[in-house]
Amino acid sequence: MSRRRVLYLVSISLFIGLASMLLRHLVSSPNSKLKLFSNMSTQNAAKERGVIVVGSGLAGLTAASTLISHGIRVQMLERAAKPGGNSMKASSGINGAPTKYQPGPPFSDTFFHADTVKSAGAVYQTSFKKERESLIGTLTNRSAAAIEWLTEEKGVNLSVVAQLGGHSFPRTHRGAGKLPPGASLVTTLLKSLKESPLFELDTECTVTKVLKPSTAVTGVEYLCGEKKEPKRAEGPVIFATGGFAGDAHGMLAKYRPDLAGFPSTNDPRPGSQDLLTAIGAQLLDMEQVQVHPTSFIDPANPSSPVKFLAAELLRGEGGVLLFEGKRFVNEMETRKVVTEAITNLPISKLENQDEKVKQWEILLILDEGVYKNASSHIDFYLWKKLMRKATIKDLGPTALASLKDYASGAAGHSTDLFKRDSFGHWELHDVTEDSVVYVGTVTPAVHFTMGGALISAKGEVIGEDGKGIEGIWAAGEVSGGVHGENRLGGSSLLECVVFGRVVGDEAARYLQAAKE
């Protein structure tokens, strides 16, 4: 036998031996190598089907827009009859710093991160500090890019900037038109998505289960309309289902029973975090629920458990809060501080009020200067009969003195009694009994849940082992850890855009890796 023939036979024997060893190793270690091949198969299937986005609020729409920019198909599932979620209702604006739209020297606002950490409160220092720092850093450091993406790439007008409570600088952006900022963002993104052949939207479809047969999420089960037979959608999943502030008898009752009886700015619907804990997700800050200090009491239905939000920009632009004709708080404090100041006051006894509903009778007062800079909002509230035009003498005997003191501080003639130093566009300085003002009656209402599924800075849903669960991401109010004890006004829409873009990019990378 020739030497070449011998070498050939030896090579064949070695190859067969190595192949046999590898096969035995795979069979004996199904959780390692076979899992790799299984996941590759799952990912290749996902590549054909695209990504499932659960929820059609701003976070979901942003994620979908990002995915489609990568050429990836999106199936969006929305449980409501119409898309947009609570994002449609957002009325104060979206934070961003530093941006070219902010007042003062260009790009001079460097305090957003510090303001957010301060607003997060004690939990920032006591638990999950590393994770919180990463999330807050992502939120604030990418805020300017979020504004640029919306204005330059999507064509949204965000040229008007206001300073809200808890902020040390004006950085909350909104448009100059009549649409509130949330509706403007949602309608713009939705219109663009509907023009793409890669986008599919299914409404009145509720996800009932996240599919995770082994270590990776492979899709969801869902029900549509009145049908009882569940459907399946296969592929990686982005969860953008929102919070549980409207789940009064479910998750809210479980985590914050002390808020029983409070009205809410959210429609009644169950929270969805349980779908994530069923696949091993960690929850964080579930007891951290934000009660917004100002929601309108509708004179026509004062006991309604669902309230219409009195946008924070009303206070930011100069609005004043009075209880029995007297100021009682710096209106530019954080939502948590203002809410606590109100709830320390006696509960109101409005005519026709259901005693089971906890609410307070606080007057929100605006002048013509505030009106000029927030007319689109105020005209809407007037049309809804949630606000009215009045004179100061209509507000009771003590209101005149309180508003004179406030006007003196706004004009710079004295130091404000409550140390307020930003008065927006309040311009009524010569206050008389006949001075015209705009008035609404407001009360605190459950508004936002800071808690939810723990995520990484990449939007990965973190499992009980501290690692990201493969094939699933979360963005928006369904996640936890971004805001701590208190969310700054304007940071909800920002969270949706920043983390919506992040998870869109991450899901795209996941599919690209499967392709390669």
Which residues are known to be catalytic?
292, 315
Structure tokens at 87: 């994002």
Beta carbons within 10 angstroms of residue 457's beta carbon: 16
Nearest CA among 489, 424, 492, 449 for reference residue 119: 489
Strands (E), 225-351: 231-234, 237-239, 283-284, 289-296, 308-309, 320-322
Encoded tokens for 175: 């448009």
Q: Are strands 219-224 and 436-449 parallel, antiparallel or unpaired?
A: unpaired
Q: What's the rounded Cα separation, in Å, for the pair 378 and 386?
A: 9
Angle between helices 491-515 and 181-194 (to 10 degrees): 20
- Please tell me whether residue 331 adopts helix, strand or coil conformation: coil
List the 231-234 sheet strands across, edge first.
205-211, 219-224, 231-234
Residues facing residue 295 across a β-bridge: 309, 443
DSSP 463: B
CB distance 292 to 487 below 8 Å: no
Could you tell me if 181 and 158 are in contact, meaning their C-beta atoms sit under 8 angstroms apart?
yes
- Do 80 and 101 contact (CB within 8 A), yes or no? no
Helix (H) or strand (E) holding 253: helix 251-255
Among residues 414, 381, 313, 253, the alpha carbon closest in space to that of 90 is found at 313
| CA–CA gap between residue 261 and residue 361 (Å, rounded) | 16
CA distance 339 to 321: 12
Instruction: Please tell me the distance from the alpha carbon of residue 380 to that of residue 293, in angstroms, as a whole number.
Output: 20
At 329, the amino acid letter reads V
Tokens of 139: 């939120």
CA 462 – CA 509 distance, rounded (Å): 18
- Which CA distances in Å does 436 have to 141, 322, 368, 384, 430? 43, 16, 8, 20, 11
Paired with 455 in beta bridges are: 461
